[in-house]
Amino acid sequence: MIVFKKIIKKYYTMLGLRNKFLILLFCCLNISISDGVKVSAQNENTNFSKFTNTLSEIDFDLSKYYIYSETGKASWYGKKFHNRKTASGEKYNMFEFSAAHKSLPFGTIVRINNLETGKSLIVRINDRGPFIRSRIIDLSYSAAVETNSMGTPAVKIEALKNNSKEIIEKFPNTKYYFCYSFNLPLVTLPEGTLKKLASSIDFDEALNLYKKFTELYPSKKIYLAVESDYLESNENFTSYFICHYDPSDFKPVLPIAENITN
């Protein structure tokens, strides 16, 4: 190392003043540039983590305050009751995707998952039943066929119920939607994170639209969505929206779900 230093010193003393100046200038510029790039990269990473639009639904989802879940046996009813009046006043149509439940409000959207076949479906509650203790839901004929539930299979039902108004009321200028899917987790999301693709005031029509859009865009997160207060609306109808998750235009200071606990 000492010999190496002596050699460098020898050749350096042999250089003219101009060459010495150029060497020193090059060294200074090299140090300055390398330091600058490092700082710039750190700043870029920090900005990206703060303002990225790649947040998942979990960052905005409030469904833990609204989720209803129940596990038990399912049954179905068909031709004998077709066109008869249900407990809600509607006529029972065995070819529609409806169901009877003992206590959920009429109009509630429910996802049913057949635990024996893995088949899932979204249905609408418009009747009361079943009246056998071990059973938790009575499916229409079409709903039973769709989920391979013609017997009394073990099922899990899930719904989003507006029983925690004070949570959403913390954000009075933000409209929230209950979002349903056959296979994605049920979520409660702010309007700005959803892009509406279609809508209908007929549930079965909306369900068919949902199926078509999930087939057309298998890589998108497609939902059948309703406004979070849809069961309390004074309107004589419910609007059902087909949406996909896209928060690219939604830029909160912090993720909404994180703000809730603060």
**What is the pLDDT, as a whole number, of residue 173?**
66
pLDDT band at 58 (very low <50, low <70, confident <90, very high): confident
The proportion of the chain whose per-residue pLDDT surpasses 70, expressed as a percent, equals 71
Residues facing 123 on adjacent strands: 110
Highest mean pLDDT among 16-25, 52-61, 76-85, 173-182: 76-85
Domain boundaries, the chain: 57-63+164-260, 66-160
Q: How far is CA 196 from the centre of its chain?
A: 14
pTM of the model: 0.75
Q: What angle do CA 153, 155, 157 make, to 5 degrees?
A: 150
**102 or 162: which carries more pLDDT confidence?**
102
Mean per-residue pLDDT of the chain: 81
Q: Which CATH number is associated with domain 66-160?
A: 2.40.40.10
Average pLDDT of the residues in 64-85: 95
**What is the pLDDT, as a whole number, of residue 249?**
76
Average pLDDT of the residues in 17-35: 46
pLDDT at position 59 over 50: yes
Please choose, from the candidates 234, 241, 158, the residue with its C-alpha nearest in 3D space to the C-alpha of residue 199: 241
The CA-based dihedral angle spanning residues 148, 149, 153, 157, taken in that order and rounded to the nearest 10 degrees: 100
Q: What are the φ and ψ backbone dihedral angles of 107, each rounded to 5 degrees?
A: 95, -10
pLDDT at position 42 over 70: no
76-123 pLDDT, tens per residue?
Answer: 999 999 999 999 999 999 999 999 999 999 999 999 999 999 999 999
Q: Which amino acid is at 71?
A: T
Please choose, from the candidates 107, 116, 158, 161, the residue with its C-alpha nearest in 3D space to the C-alpha of residue 137: 158
131-157 pLDDT, tens per residue?
Answer: 998 899 999 999 999 999 999 999 999
Cβ contact 91:55 at 8 Å: no
Please choose, from the candidates 193, 196, 197, the residue with its C-alpha nearest in 3D space to the C-alpha of residue 249: 193
